[in-house]
Amino acid sequence: MPEIDARLREDVHLLGELLGQTIRQQYGQAFLDKIELIRQNAKSARRGSAEGARQLTATLDGLGEDELLPVARAFNQFLNLANIAEQYQRIRRRQAKEPEAFENRVLGELLGRLRKSGIEPATLATQLTSLDIELVLTAHPTEVARRTLIQKYDAIAAQLAAQDHADLLPEERQQVHASLRRLIAEAWHTEEIRRTRPTPVDEAKWGFAVIEHSLWQAVPDFLRQVDETLFACTGQHLPLEAAPVRFASWMGGDRDGNPNVTASITREVLLLARWMAADLYLRDVDSLAADLSMQQASEELRAEVGEVAEPYRALLKQLRERLRATRAWAERALTVDEEPPAEVLQDNRELLEPLQLCHRSLHACGMGVIADGALLDSLRRAATFGLFLTRLDIRQDSTRHARALSEITDYLGLGRYEEWDEAVRQEFLLEELNSRRPLLPADYQASAETAEVLATCRVAAAAPEASLGSYVISMAGHPSDVLAVQLLLKECGLRRPLRVVPLFETLDDLDNAGPCIDRLLGLDAYREGLAGPQEVMIGYSDSAKDAGTLAAAWAQYRAQESLVEICRRHGVELLLFHGRGGTVGRGGGPAHAAILSQPPGSVAGRFRTTEQGEMIRFKFGLPGIARQNLNLYLAAVLEATLLPPPAPEPAWREEIQHLAKDSLAAYRKVVRETPQFVDYFREATPEQELGRLPLGSRPAKRREGGIESLRAIPWIFAWTQTRLMLPAWLGWESALLNAIERGEGGLLERMRSQWPFFRARIDMLEMVLAKADGEIAKLYDDRLVQSELRPLGTHLRDLLSQAVRVVLGLTGQQRLLAQATETRESIAVRNIYLDPLHLLQAELLARSRRCQGDVCGGLEQAMLVTVAGIAAGLRNTG
């Protein structure tokens, strides 16, 4: 068993001991002894003991109906506590001889390298200041942790920080331990699984909570650090209004296949964001008014407030009243459609200018040390979050727009839009976009579906410009898909630019992305009407589900190369929006490495990407962790802009094309061409059960059918629960083995060492293979799968073993993650607590599939706890 850091081990031990005390208090010593026996047997089994494995299975099989849920909860809760300890380990106080964490030093080291490469300080400062990075927070159907528990987990992390001082008095340490014990008891006695499915508004509130409890503090701390690092390297400060990283959201705007997201929901979320922003700024302004009691002020400030005793407070009082008016109006507007009164803040300048005036005055009067404290933090927040916290994206499927236009053209006697070819559609759309008359008569009565599309467009048209991000079109494939949305928005009253963004998702869509955008930009009227860059979204989830991760990754790379060249030729700036998930099967993985592996020229000072559910919590849930991840994003985008990776050599391109072809064939042979595959998938994994559980507001399926009907998230999540991890590696094993058998092993090694794109893919493949476990997957087969389907499971596990062997051969290692000891150790420690959950889940699935009556509800609750525990243990799961 690998050794973990001593301080982390102490924290994990302490949290586990306190959890044990809580469990003993409720269920008694005998039950706690049974939990410990299960843990010890799992540990022994992981070390290769057949007797330990036998006793583990026997103990779990012998659990009574009333013991299933508390045992599952015990192991689930321990894994959540281990997550807290691991997260805190990343940001804990550094000891004198400890090196600075990479995440904290990455920007300074990069700026040093860029200076040595010959980039002038002024150029470097300008480039960093003008970076445009947007992280788009999205809801997650596999995020099962309740918000109330997340807040308790954050409080536990705070107590770990409180005890991390060698000079604590004994009574002070006892107080910390008492607080930890109370918080752990509160978490234990709180039901970890919500009883009802969250609404889109619930999801949006969850996103706002991440901002309130973490990012609100993390962003000014991060920008203060950036400012200090930039000044040390270039002698220039970060301007007050600089916001190199901003946030957007899909929560309440993503209606693709989700009937629960309606126009009224989108309007409500926009108003809630406005209310929340006003409330957060009010807290800031109240605090500033208490602090800024100084009398000396500049003539500029005096001219604004007059000759008053406390000028800063006088100015802030005015701002406070406007913020109160804004909050009150937003609250009223949630129930009554009311125009905002004149005192409501409408433009971010109205928020920034009073704060900037205070800042200038304090500096002018020799009080810069005061100006650059809490006031500067508020200025940084105002520049980053604005009046709306996040910019809300809207997403809808292209077929919904086409059906709406078909209904309209049919009503107008023009024929059916859906039946027209692309040339006719474009001609019609461009003519109507240029027309001054409305397309829709005032008395037009739309069907319910078309009315909802038009209502969404009216909400977008009425929303303040700064409150919206982009309108994303799923399953886009033609220029008319973009023009159609523009026309619908125009007809609903939009008179300002709004980025309309085609999303290319499947393998064929990605191959068509370049030609589609080329045709779109070839339309003079469209290109001349662009206000800003041409944004294009690259889909990772559905392309990987369609073709496997290798073929999809290469198609994504080629699409980006094509888009860069096409936009360059048309003289249009390009903004690529990366629709990544948390897991490797959906384009996930370390963001820093992923950005640095993009095609040269594709990251040109701009970068937009999704951050999803559980990964939002893991990457941004604590202020210290959030600062580290914001640092990584900033440094990676700056480096990819100024020191882009090399273009692949012709031999590499030829080889990856061959690999992708072999991988695609191997992937589809299993997933599409094996007749029993769907039946096996639904028996061997909890896929059917996941669809019934209250995990997210969006349905698990877009429609009835086979694998093609499943959303990418539950498709991957189900395989992750059984540890086969199939979508993340299937196809790689055949492609790499074929290349090695062709004698191309040396070429693969050169590609891995010299091409960041290929190296990043192999590293992510290695990580997911380290988390995969064929023996665990076999347990599910033995318990759940009919005998005639089990040979398919055996074949898939053989392919998994082949993938492990070929990756070890390529990397020259004896075991996976030999060079990533921290990750390997974390997985090894967690397996001791994951193994009982997997065994329990398989048993619960078997029981629930044959049960009838009231007992099924109890089984389902216990099973969902195992789902949550396994997700917590494996972390990037959906």
Band of pLDDT at residue 164, cut at 50, 70 and 90: confident
Band of pLDDT at residue 588, cut at 50, 70 and 90: very low
Domains of the chain: 264-385 (1.20.1440.90), 650-819 (no CATH)
Q: How far is residue 781's CA from residue 46's CA, in Å, rounded to a whole number?
A: 20
Per-residue pLDDT at 582? 47
* Mean pLDDT on 294-319: 96
Please tell me the least confidently modeled range out of 45-49, 91-95, 662-666.
91-95
Residue 542: pLDDT over 60: yes
Backbone angles phi, psi at 755, to 5 degrees: -115, 105
Band of pLDDT at residue 587, cut at 50, 70 and 90: very low
Pair 215, 137: CB distance under 8 Å: no
Per-residue pLDDT at 713? 64
* Mean pLDDT on 600-606: 93
Per-residue pLDDT at 875? 73
Task: Kindly name the residue from 34, 205, 359, 545 that is annotated as catalytic.
Answer: 545
Band of pLDDT at residue 2, cut at 50, 70 and 90: very low
Pair 138, 619: CB distance under 8 Å: no
Residue 558: pLDDT over 50: yes
Per-residue pLDDT at 376? 98
230-276 tens-digit pLDDT: 999 999 999 999 999 999 999 999 998 789 999 999 999 999 999 99
Please tell me the least confidently modeled range out of 526-530, 537-541, 565-569.
537-541
Residue 471: pLDDT over 80: yes
* Mean pLDDT on 327-351: 95
Q: How far is residue 187's CA from residue 872's CA, in Å, rounded to a whole number?
A: 15
* Mean pLDDT on 723-743: 96
Q: Which two tokens stand for residue 70?
A: 């508390």
Please tell me the least confidently modeled range out of 92-96, 142-146, 159-163, 484-488.
142-146
Task: Please name the residues in contact with 146: beta carbons below 8 A apart, sequence gap of 6 or more.
Answer: 190, 191, 192, 193, 194
* Residue position matching structure tokens 């559905």: 542
Pair 637, 607: CB distance under 8 Å: yes
Pair 735, 663: CB distance under 8 Å: yes
Per-residue pLDDT at 265? 97
How high does pLDDT run on average in the chain?
Answer: 91
Torsion over CA of 743, 747, 748 and 751, rounded to 10 degrees?
Answer: -170
Q: Which two tokens stand for residue 54?
A: 């036998």
Band of pLDDT at residue 347, cut at 50, 70 and 90: very high
- CA 767 to chain CA centroid, Å, is 19
Q: Which two tokens stand for residue 450?
A: 């078309």
Beta bridge mates, 470 = 499
Task: Kindly name the residue from 34, 43, 140, 838 that is annotated as catalytic.
Answer: 140
Residue 267 C-beta-side C-alpha neighbours within 13 Å: 19
CB atoms within 10 A of CB 422: 13
- CA 47 to chain CA centroid, Å, is 35
Per-residue pLDDT at 873? 87
Q: How far is residue 310's CA from residue 313's CA, in Å, rounded to a whole number?
A: 6
DSSP state of 598: S
Backbone angles phi, psi at 481, to 5 degrees: -65, -35
Band of pLDDT at residue 91, cut at 50, 70 and 90: confident
* Mean pLDDT on 515-543: 93
Identity (one letter) of the amino acid at 511? D
Per-residue pLDDT at 618? 83
DSSP state of 599: P
Residue 589: pLDDT over 70: no
Band of pLDDT at residue 142, cut at 50, 70 and 90: very low
Pair 471, 498: CB distance under 8 Å: yes
Residue 699: pLDDT over 50: yes
Backbone angles phi, psi at 94, to 5 degrees: -80, 135
Task: Please name the residues in contact with 769: beta carbons below 8 A apart, sequence gap of 6 or more.
Answer: 725, 729, 800, 803, 804, 807, 816
Percent of the chain with pLDDT over 70: 94
CB atoms within 10 A of CB 805: 13
Pair 77, 870: CB distance under 8 Å: no
* Mean pLDDT on 137-160: 78
Per-residue pLDDT at 397? 95
Q: Among 554, 471, 548, which Cα is nearest to 510's? A: 554
* Mean pLDDT on 343-352: 96
Is this structure's pTM higher than 0.85? yes
CB atoms within 10 A of CB 581: 28
* Mean pLDDT on 90-107: 81
Q: How far is residue 375's CA from residue 381's CA, in Å, rounded to a whole number?
A: 10
* Mean pLDDT on 408-422: 96
Q: How far is residue 369's CA from residue 498's CA, in Å, rounded to a whole number?
A: 41
Residue 697: pLDDT over 60: no
What stretches of 250-368 adopt beta strand conformation (E)? none
Band of pLDDT at residue 167, cut at 50, 70 and 90: confident
Residue 850: pLDDT over 50: yes
- Distances 328 to 168, 282, 338, 621 between C-alpha atoms, Å: 45, 12, 12, 29
Residue 377: pLDDT over 90: yes
Q: How far is residue 763's CA from residue 591's CA, in Å, rounded to a whole number?
A: 13
Q: How far is residue 830's CA from residue 83's CA, in Å, rounded to a whole number?
A: 10
CB atoms within 10 A of CB 335: 9
Please tell me the least confidently modeled range out of 49-58, 219-228, 492-501, 857-866.
857-866
Number of H helices, E strands in the chain: 39, 8
* Residue position matching structure tokens 């990754």: 553
CB atoms within 10 A of CB 713: 27
DSSP state of 578: E
Per-residue pLDDT at 696? 57
Answer yes or no: 545 catalytic.
yes
Residue 3: pLDDT over 60: no
Band of pLDDT at residue 710, cut at 50, 70 and 90: low
Per-residue pLDDT at 584? 38
